[in-house]
Structure 1
């Protein structure tokens, strides 16, 4: 089958649009670094310079895509604050949104624990 000029143009635009829509979510992701907290069962937050981003809240069915990328935060530098629950310092490449005035992480693309000292020394983060 031979493509005419207009058919080839339409095909090229369609392919480029498909590539854009596949790549666009990754382009919108942002890196957020700060305190990752799991203070009690089912509750997870990431507090950075801008906000405390909700990942999970006990009693709600909401959970961001990629939550399994967090893993066991007690495997790195970690502060136990409630039995086996606590907090660490981390950087995550995430998608975010604000819903009903609350900031949420909607997807986790990558997650890395970093030394506690980085969060402790950051004056923009709460103690």
Structure 2
């Protein structure tokens, strides 16, 4: 009787172990932090949710690149936006970044000159 329950558990564990990992992709655009704990990346495809205050938060938030003051636009005291490329795992259906593996800040001029990005984030 116990064996009947053990076999499905072993098969289930094995299938999880061999499932393919989600691929990391590089997304570049406006990295926005308009208010506390609210983060978005606006790239050529969409506006990706990274974090919402009191709710959703992508794994790896500590991997967001720090911004230099001269390449960061403050729009709300210490909050604002900059230009960045992030190495992320996404959920395209929900337009969410689910994991941040790393990234780098880019000059503001990079995003401003990109014809695929909005001029004002």
TM-score (structure 2 length as normaliser): 0.76
Give 2:90's aligned residue.
96
Normalised by the length of structure 1, the TM-score is 0.73
Question: Would you tell me which structure has more helix in proportion to its own residues?
Answer: 1
After the TM superposition, which residues 21-36 of structure 1 pair with which residues of structure 2 at under 5 Å, given as runs?
A: 24-25=20-21, 28-36=23-31
Q: Find the residue that maps to 1:32 and give its secondary structure.
A: strand
How many residues end up aligned between the 2 structures? 104
Structure of larger gyration radius? 1
Aligned to 1:10: none
Correspondent of 2:111 among 111, 116, 119: 119
**Match status 1:50 vs 2:45:** yes
Give the unaligned 5+ runs of structure 1. Answer: 1-13
Q: Which runs of 4+ in 1 moved over 2 A?
A: 71-76
CA distance in 1, matches of 2:46, 2:109: 20
- Structure 2 unpaired stretches of 5+: 1-13
RMSD of aligned Cα (Å): 2.1
The answer to whether the aligner puts 1:81 opposite 2:75 as a matched pair is yes
